[in-house]
Amino acid sequence: MNRFAMLLFFILCPLLTAQQPTQVGSTSDPSRSALTGQPAADVLQPSAASERNLAIKKARTMFISSDTAYLTVSTLDRALLKQKDWEKLGLNIVDNTVGADLELKVDRLVLTHIHTYVLTDKATGIVLASGRVRAFDGVVASGPMAEQIVKALSAGRLAALSAGSDQGF
């Protein structure tokens, strides 16, 4: 029993004495930034939501890729174009990933009826929207999926367009 206790002590001792890494370049003045030494007010850090909205506003083209045979690119393409707010978004769907601003990846979980999507900004890698739809096949899933995607894009793009148009009389 004594050997077991000693072995347990030697195994757990490094875990018990481990410390969190300290912050490099920390200053004693809380009003100064730790890394630059400048006052904290001078260091502007955009929030994640504002970065996401900026990526949605700047996008002009979208590339769609499908990792499943159950939901094809052309099926989702048609479903997106049928959405009533699609024309207002001002986005074009392209066949080449090189010139696209946004990338929409579609997949289906194995042995399920769950179809997933992830919409990312290609320049920054920021995930703009993601979700899933439960449907028997891709044709049925494409409608609700397109509706979710257009709703997510409309929140960023159409709000910015309407805010800019309200600045008149």
153 assigned to some structural domain? yes
In a domain, 43, yes or no: no
- Residue 131 domain-assigned (yes or no): yes
59 belongs to a structural domain: yes
pLDDT of residue 19: 43
Q: How far apart are CA 32 and CA 38, in angstroms?
A: 5
> Nearest Cα to 139, choosing from 66, 78, 67?
78
Give the model's pLDDT for residue 49.
Answer: 83
- pLDDT per residue, tens digit, the chain (169 aa), is 677 666 656 665 554 444 444 444 444 454 444 445 555 444 456 788 888 889 999 999 999 999 999 999 999 999 999 999 999 999 999 999 898 999 999 999 999 999 999 999 999 999 999 999 999 999 999 999 999 999 999 988 876 556 555 544 3
Q: What is the CATH number of the domain that holds 145?
A: 3.30.160
In a domain, 14, yes or no: no
Residue 145: per-residue pLDDT: 97
How many structural domains does the chain have? 1
Single-letter amino acid, residue 137? D
**Is 20 inside a domain boundary?**
no
**Per-residue burial over 77-108, b = 16 or more CB atoms within 10 Å of its CB, e = otherwise:** bebbeebeebeebebebbeeeeebbbbbebbb
- Specify the pLDDT at position 163: 58
Predicted confidence at residue 142, as pLDDT, reads 96
CA-wise closest residue to 145 among 110, 108, 111, 120: 108
Q: Is residue 36 part of a domain?
A: no
Tell whether 23 is covered by a domain: no
pLDDT for residue 20: 41
- Which tokens go with 73? 């690119």
Domain that holds residue 57: 48-158
